[in-house]
A and B are shown apart, each in its own frame.
Chain A
């Protein structure tokens, strides 16, 4: 069967800008790391833009409404997030990358590849859906053992979130058990993609500073950061 997918990065497509993505399970510290990275790059006087998964305004109203009412099926869950992504991709990423920006993404298409597949959508279908999007020029994956992650998540919030625990999938009536099964499956997906797409795996159980050092080093070695200096 013909499989529709994108296999080029922005650099390979000839964009002057570069896109850097950070991926990982909920609670692995993605936002912290990307925030610190953004601070550093901005301080260096580079053109930087940051974007978060499911943050497009128009789509936001639909996703929150749907999540509250838990109306979503795996298919509509997938489509609504793809809509959000497309909106940010075409209205923000593409123009900024044409203008030579460094675009930092807290989650990219891999989040959808992992989540939607675990929710039961067909993998070729999901990948086809996102085939309009070029691959990041660098992807960091914050890798962490499930037990450590669960401890960390429980220490910050009283209750596990509905979708993050995969409660919609009816894997178990016990939220913690459901969380383990669901996040375990996600982790499997991420590990598979890590070799397929060449992620930089970061040991997320290390101190924040150590992780950030690795991320900055890798990025500086991989990209010519001075090319993104503001005029």
Chain B
């Protein structure tokens, strides 16, 4: 018969004081949105970028657990989550009938809605906002489709500069393996099939993800985000992310 478990003896729990992030200088990339006092935004905006299969959602889930355990309130945002146009975007993607400019503006509307109705209010309330992708993915997708860079930079001049942006870089070959391990099928859009790079989806996927990675590399020069090697095991990646976010929490806002 198994012995009844003895309760483990350990020191009584002590509640450590939770450091309150201090407000500081914040800015928008460009013109910003009207009627916002940025000095009131005391929370932190942390962005995780990367292709599908780069481990974004896993890493965000881990960060949420970690931050909440440390006593910080969190909110999550992502692309295509706004009530305003999500349905219409899905319909448009399904039919593949809209021009690039229209799709681009549709996504920007979705982004602006979440920015104004979720991100900014949460930051005002002092929350840690974790964004599962931000304007960079939207820009990269449009850039590889030939959209004008100056136009895109003006469009996304409404975006708030995050406190930290991490780009999980995973080689296209790894991405294929991870995608197959999860759902055994490549996504039409994530394979860039609309670009006509190749009739072969596997081929197109590799080419398209390669182009996206190159574009991110270039965007890094402008937007200054940290590239994280996403080919490593999840624990290692979260370790690095936590370490970097510690610094963000200690410092004043507008670290990027």
Interface residue ranges, A against B (CB under 8 Å)? 2, 4, 58-59, 61-62, 65-66, 71-76, 79-80, 82-83, 86-87, 89-91, 119-122, 124-125, 128-129, 131-132
Q: Across the interface, do B102 and A87 meet the contact criterion of CB distance under 8 Å?
A: yes
Known interface pairs A62-B85, A76-B116, A83-B109; 12 further A-B residue pairs with C-beta atoms within 8 A, sorted by A's residue number: A4-B154, A59-B88, A73-B117, A79-B112, A82-B105, A83-B102, A83-B105, A83-B106, A86-B102, A91-B98, A125-B154, A128-B157
Instruction: Contacts A125-B154, A128-B154, A132-B101 given; indicate if A73 touches B116 (C-beta within 8 A).
Output: yes
A residues within 8 A CB of B102? 83, 86-87, 90-91
Shortest Cβ distance from residue B191 to the other chain A in the assembled complex, whole angstroms: 24
Q: Across the interface, do A71 and B98 meet the contact criterion of CB distance under 8 Å?
A: no
Instruction: Contacts A86-B101, A125-B31, A125-B154 given; indicate if A80 touches B92 (C-beta within 8 A).
Output: no
Could you mark each residue 201-232 of chain B with 1 if its beta carbon is under 8 Å from any beta carbon of chain A, else 0? 00000000000000000000000000000000
Is B84 interfacial (CB-CB < 8 Å)?
Answer: yes
Interface size of B by CB at 8 A reads 35
Shortest Cβ distance from residue A68 to the other chain B in the assembled complex, whole angstroms: 12
Q: Across the interface, do A71 and B84 meet the contact criterion of CB distance under 8 Å?
A: yes
How far does the alpha carbon of A27 sit from the alpha carbon of B87 in the complex, in Å?
A: 33
Shortest Cβ distance from residue A120 to the other chain B in the assembled complex, whole angstroms: 3
How far does the alpha carbon of A108 sit from the alpha carbon of B205 in the complex, in Å?
A: 39
Is B99 interfacial (CB-CB < 8 Å)?
Answer: yes
Q: Across the interface, do A76 and B109 meet the contact criterion of CB distance under 8 Å?
A: yes
Restricting to B51-96, which residues have a CB under 8 Å from any CB of A? Answer: 83-85, 87-88, 91-92
Is B150 interfacial (CB-CB < 8 Å)?
Answer: yes
Is B132 interfacial (CB-CB < 8 Å)?
Answer: no
B residues within 8 A CB of A89? 101
B residues within 8 A CB of A121? 31, 34
Interface residue ranges, B against A (CB under 8 Å)? 30-35, 83-85, 87-88, 91-92, 97-99, 101-102, 104-106, 108-109, 112-113, 115-117, 148, 150-151, 154-155, 157-158
How far does the alpha carbon of A59 sit from the alpha carbon of B30 in the complex, in Å?
A: 26
- The SS class assigned to the A binding surface is helix
- The SS class assigned to the B binding surface is helix
Q: Across the interface, do B84 and A80 meet the contact criterion of CB distance under 8 Å?
A: yes
Q: Across the interface, do B83 and A75 meet the contact criterion of CB distance under 8 Å?
A: no
Q: Across the interface, do B112 and A73 meet the contact criterion of CB distance under 8 Å?
A: yes
B residues within 8 A CB of A131? 151, 154
Q: Across the interface, do A75 and B33 meet the contact criterion of CB distance under 8 Å?
A: yes
Question: What are the 4 closest A-B residue pairs judged by CB atoms, nearest first?
Answer: A120-B34, A128-B154, A90-B99, A122-B31
B residues within 8 A CB of A74? 33-35
How far does the alpha carbon of A129 sit from the alpha carbon of B112 in the complex, in Å?
A: 14
How far does the alpha carbon of A80 sit from the alpha carbon of B111 in the complex, in Å?
A: 11
B residues within 8 A CB of A90? 99, 101-102
Which chain B residue has the least Cβ–Cβ distance from A82? B105
Partner of B88 from A58, A79, A86, A124 at Cβ < 8 Å = A58
Q: Across the interface, do B88 and A62 meet the contact criterion of CB distance under 8 Å?
A: yes
Q: Across the interface, do A58 and B101 meet the contact criterion of CB distance under 8 Å?
A: no
Which chain A residue has the least Cβ–Cβ distance from B109? A79
Shortest Cβ distance from residue A187 to the other chain B in the assembled complex, whole angstroms: 21
B residues within 8 A CB of A79? 105, 108-109, 112
How far does the alpha carbon of A62 sit from the alpha carbon of B82 in the complex, in Å?
A: 11
Q: Across the interface, do A128 and B155 meet the contact criterion of CB distance under 8 Å?
A: yes
Shortest Cβ distance from residue B147 to the other chain A in the assembled complex, whole angstroms: 9
Partner of A129 from B34, B113, B116, B154 at Cβ < 8 Å = B154
Which chain B residue has the least Cβ–Cβ distance from A65? B84
Partner of A132 from B113, B115, B151 at Cβ < 8 Å = B151
Shortest Cβ distance from residue A108 to the other chain B in the assembled complex, whole angstroms: 16
B residues within 8 A CB of A61? 87-88
Partner of A71 from B34, B83, B104, B148 at Cβ < 8 Å = B83
Shortest Cβ distance from residue B140 to the other chain A in the assembled complex, whole angstroms: 19
Shortest Cβ distance from residue A228 to the other chain B in the assembled complex, whole angstroms: 25
A residues within 8 A CB of B87? 61-62
Q: Across the interface, do A87 and B98 meet the contact criterion of CB distance under 8 Å?
A: yes
Q: Across the interface, do A4 and B151 meet the contact criterion of CB distance under 8 Å?
A: yes
Shortest Cβ distance from residue B92 to the other chain A in the assembled complex, whole angstroms: 6
